[in-house]
Amino acid sequence: MSHPSRLFAARSSVGAVLATSSAARRMAQQSPCKLCSAVGPSISPSQPMSCSRLFSTTVQSRISASQSAPSSFKISAPAKSESSGQPPSSRPSPRSRADAKARTAIGPFTPLSAGLLLATSIALFFYFQSEKAEVERRKASEKKNEKVGRPRIGGEFSLVMPVLGGGSEGERIEARSFTEKDLVGAWTLLYFGFTNCPDICPEELDKMGKVVDQIDSKYGAIINPIFITCDPARDTLAATSTYVSEFHPRMVGLTGSYEAVKKACKAFRVYFSTPPGADPSNDYLVDHSIFFYLMDPEGKFVDAFGRSQTAEDVHAKVEGFVSRWQSEGNALGRADIKTRVQEDESRKVPF
């Protein structure tokens, strides 16, 4: 039996006893009862008990008995749970606890939040990929152009290249036009000197020829070696042609008028000085800059190499430039300018 039912039964019993006691008291006051003489002496022979007293005594005894009833009929406050501190009646059911635990494990991660997270991740991925591609493109463009810190070396010039010709008069040397546009399409190593130089010019041209051969062994014929005289008074077509043939079979020799040579030297920032009043029939030295230039297949200046640098030093640098140029997706070109000029009759000019 639940606690409310026990309380109701106890209260009903007490009420019934009180009602019976009141009724017996009224009856005893109205007329005597044989019960008093019959029961009274058995209770107390010296003092007979009236009906009202008898019933009062009975009621009091029953009330006392009800007050001292077994603990099972007592109403006690609901016990609290030792673990949760809540009454047993308010404890969540096992299923409710399982549901709450599941909700706690899931947290705020819902299908909607998962979709938003995925969409954001994809957007960020493509954004950073595009930024990375843009940075790489910009770096490649800067490396290709190398405008920052690049000297303005090179420019327009118009010289002639000696070509061995034929005809009814036998073999003779012809002049073919050669300009800065002929530098485009392949790598170029360009040196300024003079054919009567006793030691420095031959040493530098030998070094240049070795570098060309080393690059050829790895990449093929991609470099045109070119010699430009700064002593046009003595370096005729025949002298220039014979001189360059001693250093490399693909080497191009260029000469021209004094004004044409001076313009070419100025375009490439080359200093040269001929002794005043020098007679071309006499022996004299020409003071000039001692280094050669590396030009890329677009005809732009890349680097300059002085006398202090060995062939191995120059080769390492040239190969580095060529390798980087190729890694950027650029064509290396073909070093065949000498052959093309020799075969092009339209280039023939009087000299």
Give 91-146 pLDDT, tens digit per residue.
556 666 666 665 555 556 678 878 888 889 898 888 888 888 888 887 776 665 55
H/E segment holding residue 200: helix 200-219
Q: Is residue 123 part of a domain?
A: no
46 plus 183 within the same structural domain: no
CA–CA separation, 263 and 284 (whole Å): 22
Is 197 annotated to bind ligand? Answer: yes
Q: Is residue 124 part of a domain?
A: no
Cα(287)–Cα(275) distance, integer angstroms:
9
Q: Tell me, what CATH number does 211's domain have?
A: 3.40.30.10
pLDDT value, residue 17: 47
Return the CA Rg of the chain: 61
The answer to whether 349 and 164 have CB atoms below 8 angstroms apart is no
Taking residues 159-172, report their average pLDDT.
75
Domain boundary among 48, 70, 92: 70
The CA distance from 163 to 58, in Å, is: 155
| Integer CA distances (angstroms), 63 to 71, 72, 138, 142, in order | 16, 17, 104, 110
pLDDT at 6 over 90: no
Residue 256 in this model has a pLDDT that exceeds 70: yes
In a domain, 125, yes or no: no
The verdict on whether residue 3 carries a ligand-binding annotation is: no
Lowest mean pLDDT among 36-40, 84-88, 105-109: 36-40
315 marked among binding-site residues: no
Residue 60 lies in a domain: yes
pLDDT-based confidence at residue 302 (cuts at 50, 70, 90): very high
Task: Extract the tokens encoding 7.
Answer: 């309380």
For residue 344, pLDDT beyond 80: yes
- Shared domain for 59 and 188, answered yes or no, is no
Q: Is residue 148, in this structure, part of any structural domain at all?
A: no
Q: Examine residue 341 and state whether it is found in any structural domain, yes or no.
A: yes
Count up the domains in the chain and report the number.
2
Q: What is the mean pLDDT of residues 221-231?
A: 97
Asked if 306 and 291 touch (Cβ cutoff 8 Å), the reply is yes
pLDDT at 146: 52
The parent domain of residue 331 ranges over: 158-276+283-349
| Confidence grade of residue 277 (pLDDT, cut at 50, 70, 90) | confident
Distances from the Cα of 267 to the Cαs of 157, 158, 325, in angstroms? 8, 11, 24
For residue 97, is it within any domain? no
What's the whole-number mean pLDDT along residues 209-235? 96
Whether 142 maps to a domain, the answer reads: no
3-class DSSP assignment, residue 317: helix
Mean pLDDT over residues 313-320, rounded? 96
* Assessment of whether the complete model's pTM goes beyond 0.85: no
End-to-end CA distance of the chain: give it in Å, rounded: 136
The string of DSSP codes covering 249-291 is TT-EEEB--HHHHHHHHHHTT--EEPPTT--TTS----EE--E
List the structure tokens of 160: 């002639």
> Quick one: 57 and 166 in the same domain?
no
Whether residue 342 is predicted with pLDDT greater than 70 in this model: the reply is yes
More reliable by pLDDT, 329 or 18: 329
Does residue 152 have a pLDDT over 70? Answer: yes
Same domain flag for 191 and 314: yes
pLDDT (0 to 100) of residue 53? 53
What is residue 81's DSSP assignment? P
Are 182 and 305 found together in one domain?
Answer: yes
Of 26, 55, 70, the one marking the end of a domain is: 70
Residues 305, 205 contacting (CB under 8 angstroms): no
Are 42 and 164 within one domain? Answer: no
Residue 206 scores a pLDDT above 80: yes
Among 52, 70, 88, residue at a domain's last position: 70
More confident residue, 164 or 166: 164
**Helices and strands, number each (H, E), in the chain:** 10, 10
Q: For helices 34-43 and 51-67, what crossing angle results, to 10°?
A: 60
